[in-house]
A and B are shown apart, each in its own frame.
Chain A
Amino acid sequence: MQETRDSITDIWGARTPYRSEWPTRVDERVTETPDHWVQAACVLCSNGCGMDIGVKDGRIVGVRGRAVDAVNHGRLGPKGLHGWEANNSPDRLTQPLIRRDGTLTPASWDEAMDLIVQRSRAIIDQHTAGAIGFYTSGQLFHEEYYTLSLIGKGGLGTPHMDGNTRLCTATAAAALKESFGSDGQMGSYTDLDITDTILHVGHNIASQQTVLWMRILDRRAGPQPPRLVVIDPRDTFTAQAADVHLKPIVGTNVALLNGLLHLIIAAGAIDQEFIAAHTLGYEELRATVAPWTPERVAQVTGVPEADLRAAADILVSAKTLVSTILQGVYQSNQATAAAVQVNNIHLIRGLVVKPGCGILQMNGQPTAQNTRESGADGDMPGFRNWGNPDHIAELARLWNVDINIIPHWSPPTHAMQIFRYAEQGSIKMLWISATNPAVSMPDLPRIRQILGHPDLFVIVQDAFLTETTRLADVVLPAAIWGEKTGTMTNAGRTVHLSLKAVEPPGAAKADLDIFLDYARRMDFRDKDGAPLVKWHDAEGAFEAWKECSRGRPCDYTGLSYAKLTGDSGIMWPCNERYPEGTPHLYTDYHFATDPDYCESYGQDLDTGASLSASEYRALQPNGRAFIKAAEYLPPSEIPDDEYPLWLTTGRLVYHFHTRTKTGRSADLCAAAPDAFVQIHAEDAARLGIQAGDMVQVESRRGMAQAPARIGDIIPGTVFMPFHYGMWDSPDGRPRAANELTLDEWDPVSKQPHFKYSAVRVFKLADPPAGEDRAAAAQAAAPVAPDAPPNKKS
């Protein structure tokens, strides 16, 4: 075993302070010396670090960061350095399974695919393709999503296709559409290299994107360190590094951000010229935030006036500003409205587009961006506008299908609605790929009931048995990263090629090949009778996608597998005009809001009502950005006598998703072996709970049990990590945070509200017999909220 650092105890590694640029540091961890290295990128967060896979005798034996890559300059985080071990896990799925007499039993690919095709045909005959739904991922490659998108939208013609990106990044896309007309990250990671101010809103970047955090730590360790403002109700690693940390009560982001906007305007720190030339809607914003004095903000959010003023002072004096936004906004009350208010801070200060000024509406997953670009979620391919018939006609020409095949009569069905239709019985077949909704969706008791209903035919395509495969009728064994080739685009628009390094185990197949096989067996045809899907491999799919992206914001036409091989990843748009890609969008200050070009005509931030094409045209946006104001609205469920505490959920540095991969790395598992309930000392004392006690958390939906941790959270709020399900639960107790979460979502982005619900907590038992309470308390009392017990500080 060789490693450049123990990333479990030394999460971010030694500082390499900025000089004129971010120094290179190559991180590596191998269990044996590889006989060769294969170019890839990391799939364990949305950062998408360039990495090489080390191979020995046809097996993955380790990884190293790619020094040439612009995203990470050689660095890797703990998940990237360890997560590859899942590829070699002995419990990989190696053959298809079909449920027979209630039991999943081995089957051949022919048997499994024939069954799927037979059921598809029968359902279409009886109920139309509107009875078939797809629920995919932020984990596949772009080529796979695009193929799925074509099959669903141009082959079957079903509007019911979404990804688990609905749970993680739907609000990023929605906020960009609302403010700038289209999805597409405006800024670049390179803005962090020179900015003087950084604002993290609901983004525990230190745990979520460890490598991007290294970049910030290195700026902070170098000359002219940027100031740091963090908005988060918990004392996260990120918050602990902040110059100003605002801890709002969960659900009050809009109130807090309106308060910051109020103070920025009151200080006269707005860019009048920019606002007049390049935006629409400032007056309404000014009027909306006028009543949000620090005093009122303090009443609603619990953030002391002095803290709010301190944060505003930093924003007011910023000459350059990078903001990052993630789940603390996206999965919380008024998600899109709040994310848009961060855009507004940049717009009224005129701090966009220029180097050092970036808004990073972050993603949660490595390929979430591709789900959105390809239309494998609730979007149309190439950021096309479902409400614009010309955009749909363009797709129909590209695919050579009748325009009416492509569902465009209303927005594509979002995931939560897909599950609702399944619950009601109008969706009869649900094909789930590379995701585990039986742990990751809100209100798990309901999700299990839906997936377990005998009338719903459930296909699950995964690399492992999961909580979701327990409810499947057919399980398809999938090849994963390292076992297949494809491209992926990170949260910063950087496209990477990730090559096949080893063969998949047993009969497991690449998701692309599974989709292609389905298309062939279903015999989807274009208008001229030729096969609808005209490619047979990943590179063919990529070439087809390039044509689909031509002329759209996410233009890939200048990219190729050859161009993406050997050097750094490349930021789209990459085309004739920008042959080497481009770090900033809208450098001419012309945003994507032209009616003929925009991805969306916009929605009402409070209700989600769509604007019509004519209403949108009447606004005459002409390339100006929208400043959309939002009034604060209280969350739907607030603590009461029966359920007196807030529950909020989130992630840990050592795990990703539902631990399907990270749970199969011994070191990551040991670093964070179990769920926990984090609670403030005052609440714990009142409830007679000590560190290490097993506690039960109950909501109106369900119940979960986990040991208590005390501290690093505001009073009245408890936290649970969302990673832990049942597949490796040591004692079979329910410990998934989503047993408790609310079945509701943002009206605009349709992203579920994981970040708040009302719960009650009580002590179940002392720590297990034989365990010393002092040791248990030590183990459960973190130096920082998600630190390992043995963290060196």
Chain B
Amino acid sequence: MHLGNYLALLTGSETALAEAFATIRDHHRDEPDIGYTCWLLGTWSQAHVQALAPSVARYQAQKSAEPERLMQTLFAGPRTGSLALMRDLQDVWLLANQVDLCWNVITQAAQALRDSELEALYRRCQPQTQRQIAWLLSRIKQAAPQALVVAA
């Protein structure tokens, strides 16, 4: 059974996502709306990691190195400015979608295993992942025209 591996991938990806939100808060302190929202969205991922802990233990998940590799690829050093904000949000969006897909994969397995606890966790957490993605997309759409067309 490989559910443990996937739970490790999800936990690692949620951890990476929380870090990513912290990273863009740090990179873009002069964007007044980024800080609080990224703090809030980061707390959701942190809470997901904690909520996943019993399942991680139950299915003997081992730590996955993959999310860290992904993080290294995505966030290539600190960036500031309007285009950098776009790129950072895009990278977080990719990571959030990684999390979303992991949740989908895991709930499929949970259903096959009749693990109602894990299914309930999915129903509680995945909508928040969707809301993270929705915010990222809204903010990217808002920023794109100015960053790509007007800004120097």
Contact = CB atoms under 8 A, between A and B. Distances in A.
Contact of A604 (B36, B82, B135): B135
A74 interface: no
Interface stretch (B11-19, B113-121, B136-144): B136-144
B135 A127 contact: no
A608 B35 contact: no
B135 A609 contact: yes
B77 interface: no
B41 interface: yes
A131 interface: yes
B37 A411 contact: no
Interface in B9-52: 30-33, 35-37, 39-41
B1 interface: no
B76 interface: no
A208 to B, nearest CB: 27
A69 to B, nearest CB: 41
Contacts of A416: 32-33
A409 B152 contact: no
B82 A426 contact: yes
Contacts of A423: 30
Contacts, number: 74
A561 B41 CA distance: 51
A128 B150 contact: yes
Contacts of A611: 134
Contacts of B131: 604, 606-607, 609
Given A130-B149, A609-B135, A424 B36 contact: no
Nearest to A159: B145
Contacts of B40: 606-607, 633
A614 interface: no
Contacts of B41: 607
Given A744-B32, A747-B33, A424 B81 contact: yes
B106 to A, nearest CB: 24
The DSSP consensus for interface residues of chain B is helix
A609 B134 contact: yes
Contacts of B32: 416, 420, 743-745
A609 B152 contact: no
A127 B150 contact: yes
Give the interface size bracket for B toward A.
Answer: 20 to 34
B112 interface: no
A747 B40 CA distance: 12
Interface in A115-137: 127-128, 130-131
Contacts of B82: 424, 426
A421 B150 CA distance: 10
Interface string B58-95: 00000000000000000000000110000000000000
A636 interface: yes
A744 B36 contact: yes
A744 B145 CA distance: 22
A425 interface: yes
A290 to B, nearest CB: 16
B150 to A, nearest CB: 4
A410 interface: yes
Contact of B152 (A159, A425, A610, A633): A425
A110 B36 CA distance: 47
Interface in A416-463: 416-417, 420-421, 423-427
B146 interface: yes
Interface string A402-415: 00000001110100
Contacts of A128: 149-150
Interface of B: 30-33, 35-37, 39-41, 81-82, 131, 134-135, 137-138, 141-142, 144-147, 149-152
21 contacts: A127-B150, A409-B141, A410-B142, A410-B144, A413-B142, A413-B146, A417-B142, A420-B31, A423-B30, A426-B146, A427-B150, A606-B40, A609-B134, A610-B134, A610-B138, A636-B36, A743-B32, A744-B33, A744-B35, A745-B32, A747-B37
Given A159-B145, A424-B81, 18 more contacts: A128-B150, A409-B141, A416-B32, A424-B82, A424-B151, A426-B82, A426-B146, A426-B150, A427-B150, A606-B40, A607-B131, A608-B37, A609-B138, A610-B134, A610-B138, A633-B40, A636-B36, A743-B32
Interface of A: 127-128, 130-131, 159, 409-411, 413, 416-417, 420-421, 423-427, 604, 606-611, 633, 636, 743-745, 747
The 9 closest A-B CB pairs, nearest first, are: A609-B134, A130-B150, A607-B135, A609-B135, A426-B151, A609-B138, A743-B32, A636-B36, A426-B150
